[in-house]
Amino acid sequence: MKVVWCITGAGHLLRESFDVMKKLKEHGVKITTLVSRAGEEVVKMYGLMEELYSISNNTYYEELIFEREHPYSAPITGRLSLGKYDYLISTPTTGNTVAKVVNGIADTLVTNAIAQAGKGFVKCIIVPVDYVEGVVTTRLPFSINREKCTLCKACMEVCENDAIVENFDETFSKSFMEIILSKCIGCGKCKEICQYDAIIEGKEIKMRVRKVDAKNTKKLNDLEDTVVLKNPYEIMDILLKRQKNYKLTNFKRH
């Protein structure tokens, strides 16, 4: 089975999505991954880039496509219009991408792929991070606990990407260390070296799911041949059932 997997710039459900991708690959599913510009930044911050390269290792139908390298027409999406894939899966899907999709906008790698899938009669499975109005608990990438930090700067020295800087808080007339997330690759070396346990990986935060985003998610159900799921793990059931039937049918034919 061949699928296109779209990753957009959401931290929420990101690790869970990777978990499902890895499990499906173990079951022989070929995954071509498309990554939005924000998706690339966020995957890096959460330290998942290496995993991504091992899931889509740039062989035939297992290509890894970054929007940064294919900014405009993204010819790879032509495979979707030609119906070459069994499914297009998008998870995690940001509120931004969902808003564009439900309004028929196709001006990014992922929104274009979803549009081409629709035109090519390819089934879509979309997992929006904003499912219903309310509050969700999500995890941040790396951050620094200012109360525990002693400004020893060991983290700054060990960081190969200059992602940790010293800053000054005018209000409290106090220096503090800060992680510049756009430079962070989530390697965790700062956490390893910190003697004061001041580096936090995956701090939990509560986020509001806004009315507008929940409303857009509902509109996804109007797209042809599209299933909207709350949790990436639900993808396993759909695909593995289909994979089993596919194998059985082929077996009977021979």
User: Looking at beta carbons only, is 12 or 79 nearer to ligand FMN?
Assistant: 12
| Residue 169 identity (one-letter amino acid) | D
User: Looking at beta carbons only, is 138 or 243 nearer to ligand FMN?
Assistant: 138
* Cis previous bond, 232, omega within 30: no
- Nearest to residue 144, comparing CAs of 163, 172, 170, 127? 163
Question: Mask 7-46, x = binds ligand FMN (CB under 6 A)?
Answer: -xxxxx-----------------------x-xx--x--x-
Least Å from the CB of residue 235 to ligand FMN: 18
Question: Mask 63-102, x = binds ligand FMN (CB under 6 A)?
Answer: -------------------------------xxxx-----
Phi, psi of 56 (to 5 degrees): -115, 95
For ligand FMN, the nearest residue by Cβ is 9
Token output for 190: 């700062």
Within positions 169 to 228, which residues make up the interface with ligand FMN, using CB under 6 A?
A: 181
Instruction: Provide, for the chain, the percentages of residues in helix, strand and coil under a 3-state DSSP scheme, each rounded to the nearest 5.
Output: 40, 25, 35
Beta bridge partners of 168: 175
Token output for 42: 């966020």
User: Looking at beta carbons only, is 118 or 186 nearer to ligand FMN?
Assistant: 186
| Residue in the structure block whose two tokens are 């940790």 | 164
| Residues that bind ligand FMN in the complex, under the rule CB under 6 A | 8-12, 36, 38-39, 42, 45, 94-97, 108, 129, 138, 141, 181
